[in-house]
Amino acid sequence: NTYVHFRNDHVIVSEMDVRVISLASELARKEMTHLIGNLPKPILIENLTAILDKLHLFLQKGVQSNLELTEDELLNAITENQITPFYQPKVDSKTNKVSSIEVLARIIRPQDLNPIPPSAFIPVAEKYDLINLLTFQLFEKSTADHSRLVQTLDHDFKTAINLSSIQLRDLDCPNKLGTILDIYDMKPAQVILEITEEYALDSPEQLETLNRLRMRGFGLSLDDFGTGFTNLNQLRTLPFTEIKIDRSLISGIHNDPFSQTIVNALVDLSKKQNIDLVAEGIELFEELEFLQNYDRNILMQGYLISKPKP
Ligand code: C2E
Ligand code: MG
Ligand code: MG
């Protein structure tokens, strides 16, 4: 209950057993506070540095870039057909095959040197009700690219599209996605919908849409696991087919007992529930090596394997 009083990010400094710490983290999650990690005593400089690096990662997420498009600029980019899919693969740790490819939105305009990242326009799209237009443009382009990419890889793979949790409030969302798939002759089973929970996923409409999407055959992926509101217990009832472990739990995992405890639990749970498990944001060979040691197919994603590409 002491957690109720903390509303900031925090760290557990303790010499306790990892199980005690993981229970504490579960409690912290229930109280919706944010736990960055734990520091074993006596405190070593390298552990403290690792924790501060993680804090930096979270703050980056919150602050993001200062550049944001205006409503008019975004509307213009949509009508000019400038919403562009970038692709990043998820590779099976045991077979080394590309199991799915995530579509990440960019805006490419002739007047800019670099593609505009999603942090500059996704929040704007959500605010001004342009997120469906944007998603459908992206979805159309990536389904059209699908067959060409299949030829390049020489085997089939799934396309993973990001949805904002507000899009789930629209009960007609499954029909709209289904219509685009029909045009390109694709099946929902070839598509994974990645959903980040900026807010708890608990409204009746959101849960109903999740269920309808699942019943149609779409794969459902819980993105950024470890930063949102979902706890291990809820995974039992939500119809997810994939969990993506957030980069904050993957970065430095090879020497972080806290992240290891959580990932161990996720490996067990996902095996029992037959849910796919993805490790996001792998940048170091040591992280990859650590994850490959699990007796379980984990899907690997991150700059080490491939950066997102046009
Ligand atoms: P996400 O879905 O969790 O995507 C992962 C983000 O991490 C991507 O950033 C990707 O480029 C980046 N990333 C991948 N591997 C690494 C790595 O090894 N190291 C580091 N440092 N970063 C890595 P990006 O493309 O800027 O996208 C950020 C977020 O924007 C996405 O997070 C997703 O939540 C959102 N987003 C992107 N496209 C869409 C979209 O079409 N619709 C919606 N609703 N959201 C989108
Ligand atoms: Mg994603
Ligand atoms: Mg993610």
Residue 213 β-bridge partners: none
The mean pLDDT value for 171-182 works out to 91
What are the phi and psi torsion angles at 91 (to 5°)? -110, 130
| Rg value, the chain, Cα | 20
Ligand 1 pocket test: pick from 53, 103, 104 the residue with the most ligand atoms within 8 Å of its Cβ. 104
Q: What local confidence, expressed as pLDDT, does residue 234 receive?
A: 75
Distance, CA of 280 to chain centre: 7
Spatial distance between the Cα atoms of 277 and 209, rounded to a whole number of angstroms: 22
Burial 65-80 (b: 16+ CB within 10 A, else e): eeebbeeebbbebbee
Higher pLDDT, 4 or 41: 41
Give, using CA atoms, the residue closest to atom 7 of ligand 1: 281
Half-sphere exposure of 130 (CA within 13 A, CB side): 20
- The dihedral over CA atoms of 292, 295, 297, 298, expressed in degrees to the nearest 10, equals -50
Summary mean pLDDT of the chain = 88
Q: Which ligand is nearest to the CA of 308?
A: 1
| Strands 83-92 vs 219-225: parallel, antiparallel or unpaired | unpaired
What is the reported pLDDT for 3? 45
The span from the CA of 103 to the CA of 308, in Å, is: 8
Give yes or no for residue 84 CB within 6 A of ligand 1.
no
> Pick from 290, 310, 307, 309: which is nearest to 298 by CA?
290
- Determine contact, residues 275/235, Cβ cutoff 8 Å: yes
Distance (angstroms) between ligand 1 centre and the Cα of 2 equals 34
Query: Of the candidates 130, 135, 146, which has an alpha carbon nearest to the alpha carbon of residue 83?
Result: 135
What phi, psi does 46 have (nearest 5°)? Answer: -65, -35
Residues 55-69: what's their mean pLDDT?
70
Residues 142/159, Cβ–Cβ less than 8 Å: yes
pTM for this model (two decimals): 0.85
Q: pLDDT tens, 132-156?
A: 999 999 999 999 899 899 999 999 9
Question: How many percent of the chain have pLDDT more than 70?
Answer: 89
Is the CB of 303 inside a 6 Å radius of any atom of ligand 1? yes
Confidence of residue 213 (pLDDT cuts 50, 70, 90): very high
**245 C-alpha to ligand 3 centroid (Å):** 8
